[in-house]
């Protein structure tokens, strides 16, 4: 049913750019302000931006793994910050009652 060969055309017409998005906590003092987002170009045409390597499936896969690890770490930090803030607000609310 499926071919053993994985053929992708990575031309600019078919695959011009791959962008990764990371959520960043707000820099403002207000803890519950919407976060900002950082856009990072991972692939431009047939070149990986971070390493300047020519694109192939192995190098793309490696770059996606690195980006996913950064994304996961970033999300863990982001969630832990807001988890602590929410608990502080709950404790303050309970103490106010």
- Order of all β-strands in the sheet with 17-24: 17-24, 36-44, 47-48
SS (H, E, C) 69-94: HHHHHHHHHHHHHHHHHHHHHHHHHH
Mean pLDDT to the nearest integer, 36-56: 85
pLDDT digits 0-9 by tens, 48-59? 888 888 888 888
Mean pLDDT to the nearest integer, 47-73: 88
**Between 36 and 66, where is the model more confident?**
66
Predicted TM-score (pTM) of this structure: 0.61
At 67 the pLDDT is: 92
pLDDT at 66 over 80: yes
Q: Which residues contact 64 (CB under 8 A, 6 or more apart)?
A: 42
Mean pLDDT to the nearest integer, 58-68: 90
Is residue 74 classed exposed, middle or buried when 0-12, 13-18 and 19+ CB atoms within 10 A define those classes?
middle
At 65 the pLDDT is: 93
Structural domain boundaries of the chain? 17-96
């Amino acid at each position: 049913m499926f071919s053993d060969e994985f053929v992708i055309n990575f031309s600019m017409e078919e695959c011009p750019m791959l962008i990764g998005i990371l959520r960043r906590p707000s820099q403002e003092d207000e803890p519950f302000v919407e976060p900002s987002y950082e856009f990072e170009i991972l692939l431009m045409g047939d070149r990986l931006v971070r390493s300047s390597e020519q694109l192939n499936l192995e190098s793309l896969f490696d770059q996606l793994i690195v980006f996913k690890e950064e994304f996961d770490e970033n999300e863990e930090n982001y969630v832990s910050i807001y988890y602590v803030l929410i608990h502080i607000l709950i404790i303050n609310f309970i103490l106010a009652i």
